[in-house]
């Protein structure tokens, strides 16, 4: 197993990525190799400096970086030696089994769709994010930004993608799927959710429990919350800001702690032909470590094969 990690992606890279890689490597087992994609010489020196053994890692030299504000498509095509472009080239060629980066989200999305491509039958891949439940554990919300405008068929597919992820990554047997909406009754909603409701009812690959509302997101109402990428992104950023407020006010609580992206590492792009994970721009070594471990889980669980079978 070869786990690809972009060493240059993220606001605190390469320090945070390399330190995170060192921590992740300690818990990886025989045959689970971390492939560090970035400036090879610099990476090796930093590993040595941190007291880590460079022989425990594999390397791909990709000295260029795609910054946070570059145009995704342009950057991917014009910077073939960037860590993100290189990562997807390796992923496409099967030289790595997963690719994770805390760099430019748009470039990660474009790179994934252009290189390993959407799984046949999947209309549009989606980005899923963890949402903490008040009692314990996590649900997921998707899409949180890959598709600002959605069609009902896409939302129904997101439900399938999210269910498989909850099942094979979080071990939830029959994940409850809720449509994020503005009323509980079937007839409530905007044009998109009203048209999506019957599709979710007919979708035999999921356990649809009906409409859910903003107030249900952190409850046990559902395990998978489905929405368009615009709504999901607004919700995600709003929830993050709440978490930041509780941090600033020094409020310690297990529920609030679970908002911390460091705990789960990153957000998968679901519906493409390989495990791809996007980390938070401000990823710390702890976040990078958990992003690597989530990559491993996605490879081990064969989630991609499960999704392929579901859409076959």
Stretch that binds a second copy, among 120-128, 242-250, 271-279, 301-309 (CB under 8 A): 242-250
From 288, 273, 270, 262, select the one nearest 34 (Cα to Cα).
288
Instruction: Please report, for residues 126, 283, 284, the alpha-carbon distance to residue 12 in angstroms, rounded to integers and kept in the order given.
Output: 26, 7, 7
Q: How far apart are CA 82 and CA 84, in angstroms?
A: 5
Residue from 23, 61, 218, 286 touching a second copy (CB under 8 A): that is: 218
Of 42, 216, 257, 300, the residue at the interface with a second copy (CB under 8 A) is: 216
> Using CB under 8 A, which of 21, 112, 128, 180 touches a second copy?
180
Structure tokens at 272: 């493409």
Give whichever of 50 and 251 is closer to a second copy, judged by the CB atom.
251
Residue closest to 100 by CA, chosen among 302, 268, 259: 268
Report the Cα–Cα distance between both ends of the chain, in Å, rounded. 25
CB 128 → a second copy: shortest distance, Å? 16
Q: How far apart are CA 223 and CA 177, in angstroms?
A: 6
214 binds a second copy (CB under 8 A): yes
Report the site for a second copy in 74-133 (rule: CB under 8 A): none
Does position 217 bind a second copy by CB under 8 A?
yes
Check residue 228 for interaction with a second copy (CB under 8 A).
yes
Burial-class residue 201 by CB neighbours within 10 Å (0-12, 13-18, 19+).
middle
As measured in angstroms, the least distance from the Cβ of 227 to a second copy is 8
| CA–CA separation, 114 and 283 (whole Å) | 25
Contacts with a second copy, 24-63, as mask; x by CB under 8 A: ----------------------------------------
For 97, which DSSP code?
A: S
Q: What whole-number distance in Å separates Cα of residue 88 and Cα of residue 99?
A: 7
CA 135/CA 139 separation, integer angstroms: 11
Q: How many CA atoms lie within 13 A of 50 on its CB side?
A: 20
Touching a second copy, residues 140-179 (CB under 8 A):
145, 148-149
233 part of the interface to a second copy, by CB under 8 A: yes
CB nearer to a second copy: pick between 4 and 279: 279
Determine if 236 is a binding residue for a second copy (CB under 8 A).
yes
The residue within the footprint of a second copy, chosen from 48, 80, 81, 134 (CB under 8 A), is 134
| Tokens 């996605």 -> residue | 298
Examine residue 286 and tell whether it contacts a second copy (CB under 8 A).
Answer: no
Q: Toward a second copy, which CB reaches closer, 111 or 145?
A: 145
Q: Does 224 bind a second copy (CB under 8 A)?
A: no
Residues 244-263 that bind a second copy (CB under 8 A): 244-245, 249, 251, 253, 255
């Amino acid at each position: 197993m070869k786990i690809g990690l972009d060493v240059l992606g993220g606001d605190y890279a390469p320090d945070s990525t390399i330190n995170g890689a060192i921590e992740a490597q300690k818990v990886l087992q025989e045959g689970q190799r971390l492939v560090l994609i970035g400036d090879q010489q610099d990476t090796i020196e930093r590993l040595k400096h941190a007291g880590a053994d460079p022989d425990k890692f594999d390397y791909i030299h990709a000295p260029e970086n795609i910054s946070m504000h570059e145009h995704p498509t342009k950057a991917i095509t014009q910077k073939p030696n960037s860590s993100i472009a290189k990562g997807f080239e390796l992923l496409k060629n099967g030289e790595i089994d997963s690719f994770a980066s805390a760099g430019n989200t748009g470039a990660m999305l474009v790179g994934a769709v252009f290189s390993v491509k959407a799984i046949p039958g999947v209309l549009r891949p989606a980005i899923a994010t963890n949402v903490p439940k008040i009692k314990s554990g996590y649900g997921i919300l998707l899409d949180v930004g890959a598709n600002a405008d959605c069609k009902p068929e896409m939302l129904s597919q997101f439900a399938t993608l999210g269910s498989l992820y909850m099942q094979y990554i979080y071990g939830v047997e029959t994940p409850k799927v809720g449509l994020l909406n503005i009323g509980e009754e079937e007839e409530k909603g905007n044009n998109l959710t009203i048209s999506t409701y019957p599709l979710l009812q007919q979708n035999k690959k999921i356990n649809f429990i009906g409409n859910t509302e903003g107030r249900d997101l952190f409850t046990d109402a559902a395990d998978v919350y489905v929405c368009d990428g615009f709504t999901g992104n607004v919700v995600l950023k709003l929830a993050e800001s709440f978490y930041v407020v509780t941090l600033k006010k020094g409020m310690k609580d297990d529920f609030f702690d679970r908002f911390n992206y460091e705990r789960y590492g990153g957000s998968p792009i679901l519906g493409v032909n390989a495990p791809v994970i996007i980390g938070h721009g401000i990823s710390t070594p702890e976040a990078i470590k958990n992003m690597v471990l989530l990559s491993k889980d996605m490879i081990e669980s064969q989630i991609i094969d499960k999704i392929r079978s579901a859409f076959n």
